[in-house]
Amino acid sequence: MYFSNYRWLAHVAYWTWVLVFGTFLQLKETITPNVLLNHFVLANLNIFIFYYFYCLFLIPYLFKRNKHVLFWLLLFVSFFALTVNDVYFNLRFIHYSTDSWIDPKNTFWHNYRKIVFGYVYEFLIFTMLLFFMEKNEENSLVLELEEEKKEIEIVKLDLLKTNISPDFLMRSLKQLKKAAAAQEPYTPASIITFSELLRYRLYRGKQQQTPLHEEIEALKTFIDFIGFEQQNNNLTVKLEIRGDDEGKSVAPLALINILEPFCKVIPEYPASLNLQLFIEADLLSLSIFYDKKAKGQLLADLDQYGNDYTLLFGDTVHFNFENCIDDTCKIEMRLPLLSAG
Same domain (yes/no): 98, 41: yes
Closest CA to 43 of 104, 103, 87: 87
pLDDT at residue 72, rounded to an integer: 92
Q: Could you tell me the CATH number of the domain that includes residue 307?
A: 3.30.565.10
Residue 1 lies in a domain: no
Q: Which of 137, 156, 175 is the last residue of a domain?
A: 156
Same domain (yes/no): 228, 313: yes
Q: Which of 118, 139, 156 is the last residue of a domain?
A: 156
* Chain segment 108-149, per-residue pLDDT in tens: 888 888 888 888 888 888 888 888 877 877 777 777 777 777
Q: State the Cα angle at 219 between 304 and 200, rounded to 5°.
A: 90
pLDDT at residue 81, rounded to an integer: 92
Same domain (yes/no): 323, 179: yes
pLDDT at residue 337, rounded to an integer: 81
Same domain (yes/no): 137, 178: no
Q: How many CB atoms lie within 10 A of CB 148?
A: 10
Domain enclosing residue 35, as ranges: 8-156
pLDDT at residue 22, rounded to an integer: 78
Same domain (yes/no): 88, 177: no
Residue 317 lies in a domain: yes
Same domain (yes/no): 167, 143: no
pLDDT at residue 115, rounded to an integer: 85
* Chain segment 82-94, per-residue pLDDT in tens: 989 988 888 888 7
Same domain (yes/no): 330, 270: yes
* 305/307 Cα distance (integer angstroms): 5
Residue 233 lies in a domain: yes
Same domain (yes/no): 183, 330: yes
Q: Which of 156, 179, 197 is the last residue of a domain?
A: 156
Residue 2 lies in a domain: no
Structural domains of the chain, count = 2
* Chain segment 232-270, per-residue pLDDT in tens: 678 888 989 888 888 888 877 778 777 878 877 777 788
Residue 332 lies in a domain: yes
Residue 188 lies in a domain: yes
Same domain (yes/no): 175, 152: no
Q: What is the full per-residue pLDDT of the chain (341 aa) written as tens digits?
A: 677 777 788 888 888 888 888 778 777 777 888 888 888 888 888 989 988 998 889 888 898 889 999 999 999 999 999 989 988 888 888 777 766 666 777 788 888 888 888 888 888 888 888 888 778 777 777 777 777 776 655 555 554 555 555 666 676 777 777 777 777 777 788 888 878 877 887 777 667 778 888 888 888 888 888 887 766 678 888 989 888 888 888 877 778 777 878 877 777 788 888 999 898 888 888 888 888 888 887 888 888 777 777 776 666 678 888 887 888 888 888 888 876 55
pLDDT at residue 100, rounded to an integer: 63
Same domain (yes/no): 150, 176: no
Same domain (yes/no): 194, 225: yes
Residue 238 lies in a domain: yes
* 11/331 Cα distance (integer angstroms): 65
Same domain (yes/no): 303, 177: yes
Residue 28 lies in a domain: yes
